[in-house]
Amino acid sequence: MKPMTKPAVFLDRDGTLIVEHPAPASLGDATMVTLETTVVPALQRLQQAGYALIVVTNQSGIGKGLYTESDYERVTQRLIDLLADHHIGLTAVYHCPHHPTHAHPPYRQACHCRKPNPGLIEQGMQAHGITATGSWIIGDRLTDMRAGQAAGIPGILLLTGHGPHDAPHWHRVAPTLLDAVTQWVLPGRV
């Protein structure tokens, strides 16, 4: 068996890659997809450095009936298209539609894929030959950081999205995605 040696940056979607609007239903509206500032140069640098770019996102709005899987897919495709305009390709996008208490059956469940659990990260690592060594998770919530910890990868909390609320509770914080990449990820790359 071939050893896994490729690192990745696992990225939260809402509040990290795209602007999160106040109404939860907007997360299923592709017309509202806007990239957070500095996403393009940050991802370009990561891509040039050889990182796999894998999105891991909780989407309990599906399970709550706020938007559909089809709506989610349209938002994802819009994100992919916006990044492709800048020659950025995502390696994969994984989502969890579940919620342990506030979703309709069959989505009402405590699952291994919902962050802070590491299931989405583990799925990406397994499917794409990713090693924890050299990999990172970047997001705007403590749940992202806890998922990274559970998967054995360090996390960087952004001050975009919900980050200002969670920042006092995390040790590695950056104002933007580009700051996270230039201050933490790339300097550690050998």
B/e letters for 51-78, b = 16+ CB within 10 Å, e = fewer, are: bbbbbbbbbbbbbbebbeeebbebbbeb
CB 147 within 8 A of CB 132: no
- Give the span between the Cα atoms of 85 and 124, in whole angstroms: 24
Phi and psi (nearest 5°) for 155? -125, 150
Burial class (CB in 10 A: 0-12, 13-18, 19+), 109: middle
Query: CA nearest 86: which of 38, 156, 124, 28?
Result: 38
Sign of the Cα torsion 170, 174, 180, 183 reads negative
Residues labelled catalytic: 12, 14
